[in-house]
Chain A
Amino acid sequence: MTTGGVISALEDDAFAGDAFPAAVADRVEHGARFVGLFATPSTEGTRLVAVLARDRTIDQEELLLPAGWTRYPGLAQRVPAAEWYERAILDLHGLEPTGRPRPDPLVFPLRPGAGRPRPMAGAPAGPTDPDPLSLPPRLEGEGVFTIPYGPVRSGVFEAVEYLVETPGEDIPHLRTRVFYKHRGIEKRFEGVSIDDGVLLAERYEGVASVAHAMAFCGAVERVAGVEIPPTAEAVRVVHAELERIANHLDSTVRHVEGAGQAVAFARFSLHKERVLRLRGQLSGSRFGRGVIVPGGISGPPGLGGAELLTAVDRLEKAVRADCRLLLATPSFVDRLRGTGVVSPELAARYTLVGPVGRASGQHEDVRVSRPYAAYGHLGQPLAEPRSDGDALTRLHVRFDEMWGSFHLLRQAADDLDRTEAAQTGRGAGSAWQKDIGPVSGEALGWAEAPQGEVVYLVELQEGSLVHARVRSASFHNLAAFALAFPHDILTDFVFIEASFGLSIAGVSG
């Protein structure tokens, strides 16, 4: 371990660390939702921060591990959703949870004893080679073999490897290797300016740039105590909802492609292209990059409210008609019904978020529970609660969310129309953006990305970043991905993957 100091600190009687997992588990048992577990190194040691949400609040339980300590009392036995966080923390910080077998590597497999990238000083400067052999497949039984699927897969996909352990057709066990594309992007946040931090946040999970930028900026604005201008709030909603529509259309495209529905593939990919072009017209970027800045937005949108409204109406009409037809196409629907079932118990155990969670009874949507941007005053339609948890239900949830997004877009476009005439100029201090001074402090920020809730823990020191910790919905949900397979066969794989709709960039960081 890099810290190289005294180990076995937990034998020390003075150490009251067991209170930490007990406190977190107790709150989870009493209805709090486990959001994530972060580790942040400092000169005094390493701080472990467990983030918990309940009703309309979000807060944290903390434990300070003195410098040199490399073990901490693990959470995962009592809070299963913490499993992947503990694996990532072991990889990056070299901190090992006690009370359980040493967890497998996840995002960056290194040999035990190798230097870890995260503690601030002494981090390796150049590239460090991960060791894939430290992730052995687990095969048992007669005739069982492993299909290594990835990291270079058939088709245009992000790099990830699924080890499908199978006796032939069923998928009794699946292992996910996400370390291939670990970029170490969280480390890059250290010491950069707030403005550069936004650009990094936009690239953490590139298909959800807007949501990540909003979560990051939300944290910064909370530290600074700044309320962003109302027009900026409306524009943020416009970009976030277009991003949601684009992602849900992308998931639909991958479904219909897997089912070999050629016309539906052409139609839905055309709709997706139109959404990206609309975003390009609004911001100059097909992914809405450069729009969200700390304190507001960078400048007036490229389209007025009325033009936006026309485009949105035309788009909704076309998408609705095709969605209706798709759900009435038996050769498609039959492939999804009963496929990749995530039971409500499983979803609750892993506190799944986003469309995956909402298809299995986890209904929280932070746009409603902890509203940000203009969501607080825009009317949001109540989605039909669903809990069947199969791929078809997840697709229904995505469609419902798209209709909700169109509804929000129309209201936000109205807001824009009313206010935009008076707004000119751009940059900090204009009507679009409040000034953020050289502030210091720490805060959480969040946003509902198309994949689910994104959370940032950001610490600032006089206007530059000490660190930022990112929890993407993709990371949180992928932990349960392998558990959706036991009743399915290899040909269902494409639908289960498409219906989760996760971005690997957001998982491996």
Chain B
Amino acid sequence: MPWITRGLSEGIVTTRYPRRSDGYGPDFHGMLLVDPGRGVDRATEQAIGECPTGALSIVDDRVEVDRGRCILCGRCAALQPEVFRFDPSFDHSTIGRSALHVRGGPEDEETLAWIRSGLARRTKALRRSIHIRHVDAGSDGSEEWEIAALTNPVYDVGRLGIFFTASPRHADILLVTGVGTVGMTTPLRTTYEAMPHPKVVIAAGADAASGGMVGPGYASRGGIGDIVPVDVYVPGSPPSPFGLLHGILLAIGLVGATRGQTTTGDHPGGLAGPLPPQLSPHEPASRPEPGNRMEAGET
């Protein structure tokens, strides 16, 4: 009995994301941003050379960040704060690995749109009930905490029709963490093959995208991309629960991918456009026809 009052004691703590923007506050290291307006000087070159995972490079006289490698250690931001800085935003998941290469400037929108429409075709069948199978392919353990956090009352992904499932036979999304160890290669492939079509694979974290700090080695394949075909990449080391949620919603076509130059300050992590009404459990009257929900996210 006492648990009932305890459960009610704090009211609603659940985030409104993605209906409303949310985040961890201005000092959170959500993502590394590069100032596009500055040329490459010596201090910047030095900062690039000091990157422990080789995530920074110079392409066409501009600094490029590979978010699939960036572990958010902040060494570049400490050495050259005028070019590199942290931003609290987290909505930087991408469709395809190359989209994680972010320069200060416009992106190749056409390629992205092409990949995205292919993914949207596949996920169209995944209506309102998304089941996720998580597989650890050599994580450091923190990714599992952040994924488990999605079921806590703050994120509560059940409100969005997203559930975790034990059996790969029931799963729509394969959420993979870790560097892709040789030991997990076969179990990961087996799990992938056991899933019915259509299926989506999300690589969660820099480790899963590139091996992160561990990189390739005698026991690590340096990311899971060679083991299973990855659709969506979530950057971060580890990715935050908001980042993971953004990646999942991106995979099922409910939010659009950002292009690195997130508007900061205004609504970190929020949606640019109007939210598909089906995302709001409080407004059941405005449910669209089945099939509309995916189009809403494709714009």
Contact = CB atoms under 8 A, between A and B. Distances in A.
A504 B141 contact: yes
Interface in B60-96: 71-75, 78, 86
Interface string A246-281: 000010010000000101101101101100110011
Nearest to A502: B141
Nearest to A268: B152
A357 B27 CA distance: 38
B218 A127 contact: yes
A209 B7 CA distance: 32
B101 interface: no
A126 B218 contact: yes
Contacts of A298: 74, 78
B141 A188 contact: no
Interface string B204-241: 00010000111111111100000000000000011010
Given A203-B213, A280-B24, A302-B27, A181 B153 contact: no
A180 B218 contact: no
A155 B220 contact: no
Contact of B135 (A117, A126, A159, A322): A159
B149 A179 contact: no
B149 A269 contact: yes
Contacts of A277: 24
Given A183-B220, A195-B52, A207 B136 contact: no
A200 interface: yes
Interface string A156-167: 111100000000
B219 A127 contact: yes
Contacts of A22: none
A413 to B, nearest CB: 18
Interface residues of A, number: 71
Given A184-B217, A206-B238, A287 B142 contact: yes
A459 interface: no
A276 B207 CA distance: 21
A187 B217 contact: yes
Given A128-B182, A181-B183, A290 B137 contact: no
Contacts of A195: 52, 75
Given A158-B144, A159-B184, A285 B29 contact: yes
A289 interface: yes
B138 interface: yes
B3 A263 contact: yes
Contacts of A128: 182, 218-219
A302 B3 CA distance: 35
Contacts of B145: 207, 250, 276
B136 A206 contact: no
B219 A182 contact: yes
B193 interface: no
Interface size classification for chain B = 35 or more
Contacts of B188: 152
B123 interface: no
A426 B78 contact: yes
Contact of A123 (B3, B4, B29, B218): B218
Nearest to B152: A269
Interface in B2-21: 2-4, 6-7, 10, 13
B154 interface: yes
Contact of B136 (A181, A188, A267): A181
Contact of B184 (A157, A181, A273): A181
Contacts of B184: 151, 159, 180-181
20 contacts: A126-B216, A128-B182, A151-B183, A158-B141, A179-B183, A180-B138, A180-B181, A181-B178, A182-B219, A184-B220, A199-B213, A207-B145, A263-B6, A266-B152, A269-B153, A273-B154, A286-B240, A290-B74, A298-B74, A427-B78
- The 10 A-B residue pairs with the shortest CB-CB distance, nearest first, are A206-B140, A154-B166, A206-B142, A284-B29, A269-B152, A184-B219, A263-B7, A180-B183, A505-B141, A263-B3
Interface of B: 2-4, 6-7, 10, 13, 24-25, 27-29, 52, 71-75, 78, 86, 133-149, 151-154, 164, 166, 168, 178-179, 181-184, 187-188, 191, 207, 212-221, 237-238, 240
Given A183-B219, A250-B145, A269-B152, 9 more contacts: A108-B183, A151-B183, A183-B138, A188-B214, A196-B213, A203-B212, A289-B72, A289-B73, A325-B6
